[in-house]
Structures are given as structure tokens and as C-alpha cells.
Amino acid sequence: SPAQKLVFNRVNGKRQQVLPQHVTASEESYTLAHEENVRFVYEAWQQVEQQLDGSQRGENVCGPVQYVEKTPNPGLKNFVPIDLEEWWAQQFLAKIENCS
């Protein structure tokens, strides 16, 4: 049988409105499209994590499957993934500090 495709659906099928933000020349600017893409990936990943948690508890029979290397790459031994929530919080606080 063909491999299943991973499909990301928007929450309630609705797009969230992103309001334009005023950015000074010294700040890194993000386009509305960039922010929408980041929000979309973040929300989709949150859904995958919820489904993965549910499948590990036996709630979902056919949900996402977590891939685990049988022989991990030793070069990635000290790899630490970025915490997007923490990163966005730092960006938000930096903008607040720069505005005051």
C-alpha cells in the first residue's frame, strides 16, 4: 500500500489574522507571510505532538509514528533542539524592551 501523506489542517479550518507590526531599522523584521508560516508550522506540530501522546497512551491506533534511530549518530550526541516557545518569548521581550 502507498505511504500515508502527512496533512496539516488549520485549527477549525480558519486562518488567523496577523496584524502588521511597526519595526525599527535596527530590529530584525519578519514579513506577515513569515509569521503566518511559523504559526502554521507551530500549530501543526502541536497537533502532531498531541496525537503522538495519545497514540503512546493507546488512545489512537493510527496516528503519527515517532522515528527513533537504532544506531544514533555520535556527532549528534550533544544536539539540543531549539525551544520555539522560549525563542518567541525572548523575541517578544526584546521588542518590549526596545520600545520602552
**pLDDT tens readout for residues 43-98:** 999 998 888 887 777 665 677 777 888 888 888 888 888 888 899 899 999 988 88
Whole-number pLDDT of residue 98: 85
Burial class of residue 99 (count of CB atoms within 10 Å of its CB; 0-12, 13-18, 19+)? exposed
Whole-number pLDDT of residue 59: 66
**pLDDT tens readout for residues 7-37:** 556 555 555 555 555 545 455 678 899 999 9
The C-alpha atoms of residue 48 and residue 68 are separated, in whole angstroms, by 16
CB 19 within 8 A of CB 28: no
DSSP-assigned letter for residue 26:
T
Q: What's the one-letter identity of residue 29?
A: S
The C-alpha atoms of residue 50 and residue 63 are separated, in whole angstroms, by 10
